[in-house]
Amino acid sequence: MSKTDDTQTPTTAGTRTGTGTDRTSIRVDDPIMEIRNASVTFDMERGESRVLDDVSLDIERDEILGIVGESGSGKSMFASALLDAVVNPGILSGEVTYRPRGDAEVDVLGLSPEELRELRWEEISMVFQGAQSSFNPTITIRAHFEETIEAHNYNMEQAMAHARELLSDLYMDPDRVLDSYPHELSGGMQQRTLIALSLVLEPNVLVMDEPTAALDLLMQRSILSLLEDLQEKYDLSIVFITHDLPLVAGLADRLAVMYAFEFVEVGPAGDLIGNPTHPYTRSLLKAVPNLDTPLAEMRPIDGMAPDPVDVPQGCSYHPRCPLADETCRAEDPAYHSVSPDHQSACFHWEDSAEAIPLSTGGDERGGGDGEMRAFAGNQSDEPVVSLENVDVHFDQVADGGLLSVFQEPDTVHAVDDISLDVYENDVVTLVGESGCGKTTLGKAVIGAQRPTDGTVAYRGQDIWEAKDSRRGADIPYEHIRRSLQMIHQDPGSSLNPNRKVQASLEAPLKRWEPDMDPDDRQERILSLLEYVGMSPPGDYAQRYPHQLSGGEKQRVALIRALLMNPDVILADEAVSALDVSLRVEVMDLMLELQDLFDTSYVFISHNLSNARYFSGKAGGRIGVMYLGELVEIGPAEQIINDPQHPYTKVLRWSTADLDIEETVEDPPLRGIDIPDPVDPPSGCRFHTRCPEAREACTREQPTLGGHGDGTEHETACFREYDESHEYWDSEPVVEDDADATADDESGSWGHANE
């Protein structure tokens, strides 16, 4: 079955230059594509940069191949190489062969421009990450489809019929979508439309480069489940490229892990997750926040991914590998067969399991052994910040024009009637889809957003009252202001690009301690930099933000917030923009500092795994938000393991875990897209999508408290109410499935960027 040459012993292996013969490819029985010794190089001033290093791989007919790698691992280059579409001035060498069923094989790199033009999209098609930027903003979706069909001389009528079918397959209303301009569709719709566009010429291979990275988890998961249907319906071979291992684990038939521009481990998804042999794969599995791995086992990977100009000699992973020895440093490992179809590029693959223990599968779920550091501090009885019946409504007003004065503004209910207490040393994580109001609620907590109704109190003092009547307040506003701080989502914009790190960090000190000696100030900043692992601190202090990596920027932002010695820090998706393997590291750091500084966090995340890790490790709570309302709140592990609200269950479903047994099933909800927050549904806001919805839900609104057993864990759903509630007697809301979706979409229509 396998033609892999695993008789080669490490000692006979040559140096890096000999890799072509040394590394055999990973073969399959019936490949639809074969990639041999593919390399991509860029000539740069400081040397040749090799962003795809001599990779060989087969893609089996009708399989879903998941390719996993961190940013900068070369995975996108691999995708481009499949279509011979490497951007200038990159140079692609090697062999790419396409084997259509029955026909003669095609040498992709040897095609004439016209043949290549025909091959692309008709045979091999591609979906990119940013759907928004993949469309021409000035022409309609229909025009995109039509020009594609025309360019390939397909029968317009048939092909457009196919396009409509694809769009409905993807749960959208074909006419509406076709007549829209790209900016009129929401992100999830754009991405689905792009998938339809890539399939309109009925290709055999679909290459997807991070197709869902910019979307909410729920939308990602929904698209994935649709993808599986499409694959079956149209006999597709799919190459799914992502940084998110848990996401593809359930979807893919085979997985290939990329590190430093080459594949380090390839195998069937089950084997690779259940029995990973390459140290990098194992560490990655430990580093990625998920719902299964016991919290105590999660570990960041030390060190940094290598620079393409300067890939380490020998095994490129050796600087970070706990198993590395002399051989590893000197020689490039060949593939070793773990099983006939499972290959690992590591000399010591047999020892890796022992060296890097892993318990995937989750039998010891939540079992914190002694190793686990408990970060939970003592929480106070009195809340630090207390929200009571807070509403935040926004008026959507058009931009500045003369007539905007006369317009009736649309009101967006970003936060509706929420009460929440945050204690000292507390961690509250807010989760929900984008547009659910979690950021607005977070900002209301730290007094960055004035509520339209209700009160926000800091240690009993109404924050906004203090601000308005500066003198009369018990606690002066100034004090409140510095006690409530924030760390932003996007590391790219959290620091002023025009100021050096030092200047950014000095600003709060200069504001609050103007008398401080400049040298002391500097010293304090340097020692904090050192503390968060940025050394030498003197060097880092003199850097501009663009000279820092994303993780480093977030550290600086964290320090800046801590310099204020705040009581509460709002961390708005503070780790979402970081590479998966870094997230755990930064979250650990945040928790560690919480211990030292006695701060509370309000942590905002769309990702349940991060929420679980962060709240769970500190013994905090998770609050689930939907369309401006808090629908469930309770201790982290309870929310994860025993979700009560139907929406929480949906979120739980959408969070991919590493259990490959669990394939991607249909979503436990009735509509994919979120209703428009300008005009939220009546009664329980979730009733348009809730699988358990009954007639009573459309009329009446469930509340958080006032029922159940009075524990910390509260749920706003009638199913929690006792039997006497009318919910139990009313009729289920059942609609025809397709209709339901169309209805929901009418809600989210014309609501482009939520």
Binding mask 395-424 for another protein (x = CB under 8 A): -x-xxxxxxxx------x-x----------
Q: How far is the CB of 311 from ligand SF4 (least distance, A)?
A: 12
Q: Which does 36 bind (CB under 5 to 8 A by kind): ligand SF4, another protein, none?
A: none
Strand pairing category for 621-626 and 629-635: antiparallel
Name the residue with tokens 């060949």.
334
Q: Binding segment for another protein among 16-24, 166-174, 592-600, 689-697 (CB under 8 A)?
A: 592-600
Nearest to 559 by CA among 520, 586, 584, 519: 586
Strand pairing category for 568-572 and 484-487: parallel
Binding status of residue 369 toward another protein by CB under 8 A: no
Q: Which does 93 bind (CB under 5 to 8 A by kind): ligand SF4, another protein, none?
A: none
**How many residues belong to the site for another protein (CB under 8 A)?**
131
Q: Which does 70 bind (CB under 5 to 8 A by kind): another protein, ligand SF4, none?
A: none
Residue 440 contacts residue 446 (beta carbons within 8 Å) = no
Binding status of residue 346 toward ligand SF4 by CB under 6 A: yes
Q: Which does 686 bind (CB under 5 to 8 A by kind): ligand SF4, another protein, none?
A: ligand SF4
Q: Which does 598 bind (CB under 5 to 8 A by kind): ligand SF4, another protein, none?
A: another protein
Residue 707 contacts residue 722 (beta carbons within 8 Å) = yes
Binding status of residue 195 toward ligand SF4 by CB under 6 A: no
- Cβ closest to ligand SF4, residue 11 vs residue 378: 11
Binding mask 619-658 for ligand SF4 (x = CB under 6 A): --------------------------xx------------
Residue 273 contacts residue 285 (beta carbons within 8 Å) = yes
- Cβ closest to another protein, residue 18 vs residue 409: 409
- Cβ closest to another protein, residue 190 vs residue 741: 190
Binding status of residue 489 toward another protein by CB under 8 A: yes
- Cβ closest to ligand SF4, residue 346 vs residue 593: 346
Binding mask 512-551 for another protein (x = CB under 8 A): xx-xxxxxxxxxx--xx-xx-x-x---x--xxxxxxxx--
Name the residue with tokens 């650990």.
588
Q: How far is the CB of 718 from another protein (least distance, A)?
A: 28
* Residue 67 three-state SS: strand
Judged by CB under 6 A, the chain residues 261 through 320 that form the site for ligand SF4 are: 278-279, 315, 317-318
- Cβ closest to ligand SF4, residue 55 vs residue 324: 324
The 3-state secondary structure of 335-363, one letter per residue: CEEEECCEEECCCCHHHHHHHCCCCCCCC
- Cβ closest to another protein, residue 527 vs residue 663: 527
**How many residues belong to the site for ligand SF4 (CB under 6 A)?**
26
Binding mask 497-536 for ligand SF4 (x = CB under 6 A): ----------------------------------------
CA dihedral sign, ordered 317, 322, 327, 333: negative
Residue 96 contacts residue 84 (beta carbons within 8 Å) = yes
| Length of the chain counted residue by residue | 754
Q: Binding segment for another protein among 94-102, 163-171, 388-396, 640-648 (CB under 8 A)?
A: 388-396
Residue 672 contacts residue 171 (beta carbons within 8 Å) = yes
Binding status of residue 348 toward ligand SF4 by CB under 6 A: yes
Please state, in angstroms and rounded to a whole number, the distance separating the CA atoms of residues 739 and 751. Answer: 20
For another protein, the binding residue among 195, 295, 446, 501 (CB under 8 A) is 446
Binding status of residue 228 toward ligand SF4 by CB under 6 A: no
- Cβ closest to ligand SF4, residue 179 vs residue 726: 726
Partner residues linked to 60 by β-bridges: 31
- Cβ closest to ligand SF4, residue 230 vs residue 639: 639
**b/e per residue, 218-243, with b = 16+ CB within 10 A?**
bbbbbbbbbbbebbeeeebbbbbbbb
- Cβ closest to another protein, residue 341 vs residue 579: 579
Q: How far is the CB of 17 from ligand SF4 (least distance, A)?
A: 18
Please state, in angstroms and rounded to a whole number, the distance separating the CA atoms of residues 248 and 270. Answer: 11
For ligand SF4, the binding residue among 86, 285, 321, 444 (CB under 6 A) is 321
| DSSP state at residue 367 | -
Angle CA 628–632–637, to nearest 5: 135
Report in angstroms the alpha-carbon separations of 141 from 125, 145, 183, 404: 18, 7, 10, 30
Residue 624 contacts residue 432 (beta carbons within 8 Å) = yes
Q: How far is the CB of 660 from another protein (least distance, A)?
A: 28
Binding status of residue 736 toward another protein by CB under 8 A: no
Q: How far is the CB of 10 from ligand SF4 (least distance, A)?
A: 8
Nearest to 436 by CA among 217, 275, 285: 217
Binding status of residue 693 toward ligand SF4 by CB under 6 A: yes
For ligand SF4, the binding residue among 124, 226, 328, 602 (CB under 6 A) is 328
Output phi, psi for 95, to 5 deg. -135, 135
Judged by CB under 8 A, the chain residues 79 through 118 that form the site for another protein are: 80, 83, 85, 87, 90, 117-118
Name the residue with tokens 């039509």.
146
For ligand SF4, the binding residue among 49, 719, 743, 752 (CB under 6 A) is 719
Q: How far apart are the first and last CA of the chain?
A: 50
**b/e per residue, 303-331, with b = 16+ CB within 10 A?**
eebbebeebbebbbbbebbebbeebbeeb
Strand pairing category for 342-344 and 336-339: antiparallel
For another protein, the binding residue among 68, 172, 273, 484 (CB under 8 A) is 484
Binding status of residue 258 toward ligand SF4 by CB under 6 A: no
- Cβ closest to ligand SF4, residue 240 vs residue 349: 349
Judged by CB under 6 A, the chain residues 37 through 76 that form the site for ligand SF4 are: none
Judged by CB under 8 A, the chain residues 209 through 228 that form the site for another protein are: none
22 class by beta-carbon count within 10 Å (0-12 exposed, 13-18 middle, 19+ buried): buried
Contacts made by residues 301-305, CB under 8 angstroms, sequence distance 24+: 301/581, 304/549, 305/70, 305/72, 305/73, 305/259, 305/260
Please state, in angstroms and rounded to a whole number, the distance separating the CA atoms of residues 297 and 307. Answer: 29
Q: Binding segment for ligand SF4 among 58-66, 228-236, 345-353, 505-513 (CB under 6 A)?
A: 345-353
Q: Which does 723 bind (CB under 5 to 8 A by kind): another protein, ligand SF4, none?
A: none
Judged by CB under 8 A, the chain residues 650 through 709 that form the site for another protein are: 677
Binding status of residue 154 toward another protein by CB under 8 A: no
For another protein, the binding residue among 204, 352, 440, 600 (CB under 8 A) is 440
- Cβ closest to another protein, residue 511 vs residue 699: 511
Side-by-side strand order, sheet with 714-715 = 484-487, 568-572, 600-605, 427-431, 621-626, 629-635, 714-715
Binding status of residue 753 toward another protein by CB under 8 A: yes
Q: How far is the CB of 360 from ligand SF4 (least distance, A)?
A: 19
Name the residue with tokens 């401006």.
628
For another protein, the binding residue among 246, 279, 437, 646 (CB under 8 A) is 437
What are the tokens at 270? 């089950």
Kind and range of the H or E run holding 438: helix 438-445
Judged by CB under 8 A, the chain residues 18 through 47 that form the site for another protein are: 42, 44-46
Q: Provide the binding-site residues for ligand SF4, judged by CB under 6 A.
A: 278-279, 315, 317-318, 321, 323-324, 328, 333, 346-348, 645-646, 684, 686-687, 690, 692-693, 697, 702, 717-719
